[in-house]
Homo-oligomer: A and B are copies of this chain.
Amino acid sequence: MKLLKEKIMNDGKVLSDTVLKVDSFLNHQIDPLLMKEIGEEFANRFTDEVITKILTIESSGIAPSTMLGLTIGAPVVFARKRKSLTLSGNLYSSKVHSFTKNETNEISVSKDFLSPDDNVLIVDDFLANGEAVKGLLDIAQQSGATVVGVGIVIEKGFQQGGQILREQGIRVESLANIKSLANGQIEFFDY
- Whether A100 and B86, one on each chain, are in contact in the complex, defined by CB atoms closer than 8 angstroms, is yes
Interface centre among A29, A67, A87 (most CB of B within 10 A): A29
> What is the bound-complex CA distance between A113 and B30, given in angstroms?
10
Q: Name the B residues within 8 Å of A82 (CB-CB).
A: 101
Nearest-neighbor residue (CB-CB) of A72 within chain B:
B32
Nearest-neighbor residue (CB-CB) of A86 within chain B:
B21
> What is the bound-complex CA distance between A26 and B51, given in angstroms?
20
A1 within 8 A of B: no
A28 within 8 A of B: yes
- Whether A87 and B30, one on each chain, are in contact in the complex, defined by CB atoms closer than 8 angstroms, is no
Total copies of the chain: 2
Please give the distance in Å from A174's CB to the nearest CB on chain B.
20
Nearest-neighbor residue (CB-CB) of A80 within chain B:
B28
Say yes or no: A86-B19 contact (C-beta < 8 A), given A24-B113, A66-B67.
Answer: yes
A134 within 8 A of B: no
- Whether B76 and A32, one on each chain, are in contact in the complex, defined by CB atoms closer than 8 angstroms, is yes
A-B contact pairs, 30 of them (CB 8 A): A23-B86, A23-B113, A24-B112, A25-B75, A27-B86, A28-B113, A29-B76, A29-B77, A29-B110, A29-B112, A30-B62, A30-B69, A30-B75, A30-B76, A30-B78, A32-B67, A32-B69, A32-B74, A33-B73, A35-B66, A59-B59, A59-B80, A62-B63, A62-B66, A63-B63, A66-B67, A82-B101, A84-B100, A85-B101, A86-B100
